[in-house]
Structure 1
Amino acid sequence: MTHKLAFVILIALLCPIVLMAQDTTAVKGWKKSLIFDFTTAQSSYSNSWVGGEAGSLNWVSNLNGTAERQLKSWLNYRTIFKASFGQTLTQDVTTHDWSKPKKSTDLIDWDNLMRFTTNRLVDPYAALRLETQFYSQFDNSVTAYFRPLKLTESGGVARKFYSKDKDIVLSRLGLALRQIVKPYLTAADSLIKKDSALTDGGVESVTDFSLTLNKRVLYVGKLSLYKALFFSGSDKVKGTAFENDWKAIDINWENQFRVQVTKIITVNLYTQLLYDKEVSRKGRLKETLALGLIFHLA
């Protein structure tokens, strides 16, 4: 069952890539962008080196795509796809042997938005968002593909505050229903994995930014807020110190500045601020600064 679900998800995730990669002469009216970048850093030391430094190898690849089309005079479709994966290898200070690759970055995020364009102050919308990873791995090397998995269906009102060429500032506010699937092992030393599924519903606010600051600098941002109103697992935490954690507002704020030095060389600054009280009572911050190669595929 897990392999079938993984296959279905993979096919679904490839659909927007196929759409965005189509020739503009074949599909009229698409505003699309598909960008792939690859960054790496490496250092190593000989056995005779003195100083206690350890070598390392890091690499990260990113695929970012957007596509938008006015399907009808009253219907607009927009999809945003992000996939990132990276690994880190380290060298032992004493033996100078290299470790096995460890995952440093793993993200799949596919956001689809249908807006019913009424030419009024706000437009009704329906949205579907899938967030997952390529795989999760337990300490005993058991692998769960496309886990954890979060699926969000939502509907409400949206407004486009700014739009010019491929630049856009778009906000939406509505009611949402989320399904969250997480893997677990049946016992500490077991090789059998199962999924636990939880559901919650509440209010979501999502704002997407894509702005060309100048001909070499691009800013892409996404601010997601979610307030749960009900939770299927509330009975399990009732009476504990974590009883009300699921009621706190979840925050996911992503920012990326891409500076194109040459046609294929880019500098990327990426930050992500996460707050989910069920995971940690403190905010979590991720920052990545990298120099690498960039390829505009569409």
Structure 2
Amino acid sequence: MIPRANFFLSLTILIVGSTWISSALAQGDLPTPNPTPELSCSQLEYQCENIQKKIANLERSKGTLQRGLEKIEGLKQQIRARHEAALAKIDAKIAELQAALAALNVEPGTVSVAAQRIQKKIDRKVRAREKLVPKLERLLLSPERRRQRLLKSLGLVDAQLALLYPKRDDYCPRAEVCAQQVTPTATPSPIATNTPTPIPTATATPLPTPVPATPTATPTPAGIRCNPTVDPAGPSVSGLTVVVSPTHMEATVSWSTNVAADGIVNYVTGSVPIYPDPNHISDFSFKLSHSITFPVTHGQVNWWMIRVCSPNPGSRCNSVCDQQLVP
């Protein structure tokens, strides 16, 4: 049992403490954690500009993907319309043949060559209609696959935009406030006095030295490229960076080595898939890094062949990066 005095003392402390915390929160006395580290004005301006560029590129790409989805939906509607028109044409022909068969007015039990001929035509049209009905699903399969790939790309873009929008809303207003604070103010002109101004003497001013032009960074081209480096002591290839465009959601890196051991040339091949990291997107290109160590236990590696294949289902490897590396 808790003593009555201790109970009322605890209750009094709780009420007073909650009242103080509420008033402090209302007046803003309590320190609030800073969500982002303090940055200089130049850093804020750089972050804001960089984020805005990324958002602009992603929004343009999102618009392209959405237009692609609209085109696919239009294509699917055209396929359905043509399919329904073909079915309607067959149904009309069947109805016409059935009307012609009924017009013959063949009595039951009698044999009519004309009626048999019309019935055979009706049976052929019915079989053609039965074959045409499941064909629609096969015709819609390819557009649906492309639609799923576009939806996957659109999901990655939306995920990256969801990460960039809060950063823009944080950095850009602070950069604007900082730019207003560092704006130089007009200094008052000094009061003219009667003191004599010194006559400037002629001095030789040195000519400015020409500054070499710095090369501007070229944007990453669409498609796939790679720049592997060789470690002769490995034998391995490290620092393999592959840049793929949004249409290539993954890539396959395959290698082939020419290993000379005891005068015998052996070829060692292999492949490994690599996938993009949505957290490292620059100019809407996925930069993939992968290091490969060749399974060679002895001998001397004469050369490596690096191949990067774009994932085209049902087709051969469309390699866009064939590089022979010599250690």
TM-score by length of 2: 0.21
Which of the pair has the greater relative contact order for Cα pairs under 8 Å at 6+ separation?
A: 2
Point out the structure with the larger strand share.
Answer: 1
TM-score by length of 1: 0.22
Larger Rg: 2
